[in-house]
A = this chain, B = another copy of it.
Amino acid sequence: MRTAAVVGTGLIGTSVALALTAQGVTVYLRDTDVTAVRTAAALGGGLAETPPGPVDLAVLAVPPARIGATLRQCQQADLAHSYTDVGSVKEQPLRDIEELGCDVARYIGGHPLAGRERSGPLAARADLFDGRPWVLTPSKETDTETLNRALEMVALCRAVPVVMEPRAHDHAVALVSHAPHLVSALMAARLEGAADTATRLAGQGVRDVTRIAGSDPGLWIEILGANATAVADVLAGLADDLGETIAALRALAAEDEAKRSGGVDGVTGILRRGNAGHARIPGKHGAPAARYEAVPVVVGDQPGELARLFADVGASAVNIEDITIDHSPGRPAGLIELMVDPAAAEGLVHDLRRKGWNVQR
């Protein structure tokens, strides 16, 4: 790939432009917002110009609802040999493209699983896609050349390509992203009218479950709107389980022993299925979640304590894969869990204890 165009220079488009430019590709930038194009070019994302002839690949980084119309317009102007997009849903844009009579053979859907809490070209980073999954959704009509150009772009962005059907993609993100978001909001909504004495008792569990409920509703209504049926289907399955769980809880509170026993089975059943589903989520770098071992260390709440801890950890030359900090309300001392390779855990515990750390293991 020698030339590319990026249509839409927001966070994702500009990040693609930066990554491709860094790999020696000549990138042409386009956006209806002139300031956004100038910013992307100033950041080093490429040229704010119309290419002299068709580029190898055009990346349409516009909202899902505008992908079809944008593709038609670009194909009419003969902007590129092949086209892809970066939309977070894949079925509806493909339907739009077919209905608008675009050249479907030279289009392949795409969705990089990467993002930031901030948006716009100023938040862009060339390394945004490093090691992230980048879904590609070829249709039956997509030609091999277009598939290969998209695969090359994914490789140049250092992402990991995952080929899926558009429908399977939309169901997958409904399951692992869109439905969890609404579930978090539904739980958080219960706290809206809670007494202060009740919310004061909140620990790490409810904090984790409701963390993403703090996100921007404006952004999420767009995402959910483009994938509403798939999300509704996931939540309908959850609603059935929820109804059974409530009935099991009511049975648990019954006087009748047989009823109570049925309630125990029902509630235990959903807890066990929760265990099984939780175990399906892969850990860091795609490894199983159970790969790391926790080394819990008690630290004081003074400046420099963490620096001292990590300096001592660093002296052990052990790689810390993840960290959790237990910060329940009013707790002056914190419990830090260092997640490490199980083979390295024992040596680390020994080293830290020798240096005076309170390791709870």
A interface list, Cβ under 8 A from B? 113-114, 116, 123, 125, 127, 130-133, 135, 160, 162, 164, 168, 171-173, 175-177, 179-192, 194-195, 197-203, 205-215, 217, 220-221, 224-225, 228-229, 231-232, 234-239, 241-243, 245-246, 249-250, 252-253, 263-264, 267-268, 270-286, 289, 298, 301-304, 306-315, 317-323, 325, 327-333, 360
Contact = CB atoms under 8 A, between A and B. Distances in A.
A245 B235 contact: yes
A187 B183 contact: yes
A281 B206 contact: yes
If over half of A's interface residues share one DSSP class (helix, strand or loop), that class is named, otherwise mixed; here it is helix
Contacts of A171: 198
A280 B192 contact: yes
Contact of A213 (B215, B225, B274): B274
Contacts of A194: 172, 175-176, 277, 280
A253 B277 contact: no
24 contacts: A113-B203, A131-B329, A133-B201, A135-B201, A160-B330, A168-B197, A179-B187, A180-B205, A183-B209, A189-B238, A189-B270, A189-B276, A191-B277, A191-B281, A194-B277, A199-B281, A213-B274, A214-B289, A221-B264, A224-B252, A229-B250, A231-B249, A310-B310, A323-B325
Contacts of A282: 199-200, 202, 329
B197 A172 contact: yes
Contact of A202 (B183, B281, B331): B281
Contact of A201 (B176, B217, B236, B298): B176
